[in-house]
Structure 1
Amino acid sequence: MDFQYYLPVNLIFGRGKADLIGEKAAGLGKRALIVTGGRSTKESGLLARTEELLKKQGVSSVLFDKVEPNPLTTTVYEGAGIATLEGCDLVVALGGGSSLDAAKGIAFQAVNGGDINEYIFGRKVSDKALPVLAVPTTCGTGSEGNGFAVMTNPDTSDKKSLRCSAIVPACSIIDPLLMTTMPKAVLASVGFDALCHNMDAYISSISQPLTELMALEGIRLAAESLKRVCEDRDDLDSWDKLCLASTLGGMVINTAGVTALHGMEHPVSGLKNAVHGKGLAALAPYVYEASIKGSPDKFAAMSKMLGGKNETDFVSQIRDLITELHLTETLGDMGIRESDVPWLTENCMKISAASIANHPVIFSREEINSIYTKSI
């Protein structure tokens, strides 16, 4: 049993821990670039609260609030330019996975400069970035627990992650109380993403004992809590479980990677700016249906956690969950047409080759093409 596990992440988890934002930031720098989207953290009051907490600890701040869903490389360039111009030595990420990913990209770009796509595609490497304090407000991507920053190149529609240990957050504060303002539709989508991260990592061919332990726990926690929080927003114990599932999902994909489901979804949201969790839900039954033969024991274990009996009813369990979460949009509903399928297939092979290779069944181009077509 040979394996290596390395993930330098500092997690501060618990209700009310957002009160520590200023204290933890002060240990990382003196001038922060706050990276967030344009609306939710302002409406919830978190942005103003963060600015005040930083000020009390002697940390000045500059706001960059232009992060969009499925953040663009051009947004990262703009944020990095502001960080450099303002002399920021710290990045504070507030918001969902898009804000965290953009913040990590900005922290990297501010130090390294140049064409970030060179680093995304591995043609250049660097182990330097500004420190990041991550404060997630959605429980889905797990970006607070890994060294990934997913972004889309608007010139090519390539949606791919920058992967680097330097962008593992220096500190992540996961406060379940920050999640409770999410609209139900957002919650369903990000929660399903959290579940899929754990499932992807669990079935990955490069999984290992520690990631399998954490992924199984993440699946169990997500399966227990996701429907409950959608039904009862005041169930704080379930919020705790779902937030931990999300963070575990982010951690396990850092080591075991994602597999074909995520690999096939990224071209969809790269091309059509689709909601990532909805794209996963549209693809999941068809991807997994074609995958069970590659790892029946693992699919049986996952099925039992979802309420099934063995691998033969795993797909029906996933379909039932998708229906209960109201995530029943097809790729066609997201704007994908059959004429897009050849591009999706080729882009998948271009940007997601590792994810396809990690899958328990190695899909051919023809099989990928078929799954996309069925999902329309």
Structure 2
Amino acid sequence: MEFQYNLPVNLIFGRGSVSRIGDIAVDYGSKACIVTGRSSTRKSGLLNRVAEYLEKAGVESVVFDRVEQNPLTTTAMEAAAFIRQEKCDTVIGLGGGSIMDCAKAAAFLSVNDGDINDYIFGRRKSSLALPIILVPTTCGTGSEGNGFAVLTNPLNGDKKSLRCNAIVAKASIIDSECMMTMPKSILASVGFDAFCHCMEAFISKIGQPLTDMMSLQGMKLIGKYLVPLYEGQCSLEAWDALSWASTLGGMVIHSAGVTLPHGMEHPASGLRNIVHGRGLAALTPVIMEETISCCAEEDRKKFAEISRCIGGTDETDCAAEIRGLLDRLQLSETLTGLGIREEDVDWMTENCIKVSAAGISCHPVSFSRSQIRELYRRAL
């Protein structure tokens, strides 16, 4: 057995830990750009609190608050220009996965020249970025635990990750109290995204013992706590558990990658700007049904473990249990219901091959272009 695991992120976990952000940030600079969304952190008061914590520690701050639900390459470039203009030396991502991804990309672009798409597609490389501190306010993407920044190119709909260790956060503060104001529809969507991260890393061809161990714990915690939280049984321990599961999901895909559900979803949300977790909800059951029916025996054992994490028995009911989880979260979706049309299928298929080659190659079953096209059609 041979494997390598390298993930240089300092995780600060616990309720109330966001109050430490000033003491953490002062180690990296004297002026921080807080990258956030357009309203939620202001409405909750979190943005003001973070600015106050920074000020008390002697760190000046400015705010960039124009990040979309599917962040654009152009928005990351705008944020980077703002960071340079304001002469910031630290970047703080305060919000959900889109915000954190944009913050990471902006920290990278602020010290690297050229077209970000060249870095995304591996035509150029750099190991430089401003120091990044992340504070997630949703328990889904796990962006606080990896070196990925998913961005959409508005010129052609390509949705793909910038991936490098330079954008792994210097510190990530996982404070479940920052997540408790999420609307339940957002909780369902991001919670299922976190489950998919853990599941896809678990079945990935490049998974390894550490990612398997963390993926299983993440799926078990999500299976135990997501639905009760969604239904209003809001214990503090449940919020902690789900927050940790989300971070685990982000950490495991850093090493094991994602597979076909994410690979096929990115073209859909890149094209139609749909909510990522809802796109996954439309595609994942269809993909898993086909995968389980034709995968190797060793992979079937993994699907049995996945099923047991969410209340099932073995691989034969895994896809049904995933559908049941989505039903309980009121997240049963179709691509048609999300605005995808039959005439989009060919474009999404070709774009999937273009932007998601890694996810396709990591999937336990090798699906052809025509099979991917048919999976899209079945998800309509």
TM-score by length of 1: 0.99
Aligned to 1:126: 126
Question: Alignment partner of 1:108: what SS?
Answer: helix
Query: Is 2:334 the counterpart of 1:330?
Result: yes
Question: Alignment partner of 2:338: what SS?
Answer: coil
RMSD: 0.7
Aligned to 1:315: 319
> How far apart are the structure 2 equivalents of 1:17 and 1:40?
19
Aligned to 1:87: 87
Q: Is the 8 A contact 1:218 1:248 kept in 2?
A: yes
> How far apart are the structure 1 equivalents of 2:156 and 2:266?
13
Aligned to 2:346: 342
Aligned to 1:306: 310
Letter in 1 for 2:338: M
Provide Cα deviations, 1:139-194, integer angstroms capped at 9, x if missing partner: 00000000000000000100000000000000000000111100000000000000
**Kindly, what percent of the aligned residue pairs are identical?**
59
Identify which of 358, 362, 374 aligns with 2:362: 358
Runs of 4+ in structure 1 deviating by more than 6 angstroms, as ranges, are none
Provide Cα deviations, 1:209-255, integer angstroms capped at 9, x if missing partner: 11100111111111111001111253111111110110000000000
Aligned to 1:14: 14
Q: Is the 8 A contact 2:228 2:234 kept in 1?
A: no
1:125-144 equivalent positions in 2, closer than 5 A: 125-144=125-144
Query: Is 2:297 the counterpart of 1:291?
Result: no
Question: Alignment partner of 2:351: what SS?
Answer: helix
Aligned to 2:146: 146
> How far apart are the structure 2 equivalents of 1:217 and 1:70?
28
Offset at 1:113? 2.0
Structure 1, gaps ≥5 residues long: none
> How far apart are the structure 2 equivalents of 1:336 and 1:252?
30
Provide Cα deviations, 1:298-331, integer angstroms capped at 9, x if missing partner: 0011111111111000011001111110112211
Provide Cα deviations, 1:191-212, integer angstroms capped at 9, x if missing partner: 0000000000000000001110
Letter in 1 for 2:357: A
Question: Alignment partner of 1:248: what SS?
Answer: helix
Q: Is the 8 A contact 2:145 2:172 kept in 1?
A: yes
Query: Is 2:287 the counterpart of 1:278?
Result: no
Letter in 1 for 2:93: A
Aligned to 1:184: 184
Q: Is the 8 A contact 1:228 1:235 kept in 2?
A: no
Q: Is the 8 A contact 1:180 1:233 kept in 2?
A: no
Aligned to 2:160: 160
Letter in 1 for 2:374: S
Q: 1:111 to 1:233 in 2, by over 3 A?
A: farther
Q: 1:364 to 1:39 in 2, by over 3 A?
A: same
Aligned to 2:196: 196
Aligned to 2:240: 240
1:108-119 equivalent positions in 2, closer than 5 A: 108-119=108-119
Question: Alignment partner of 2:336: what SS?
Answer: coil
Q: Which stretch of structure 1 is more off in the superposition, 133-142 or 327-336?
A: 327-336
Q: 1:233 to 1:64 in 2, by over 3 A?
A: farther
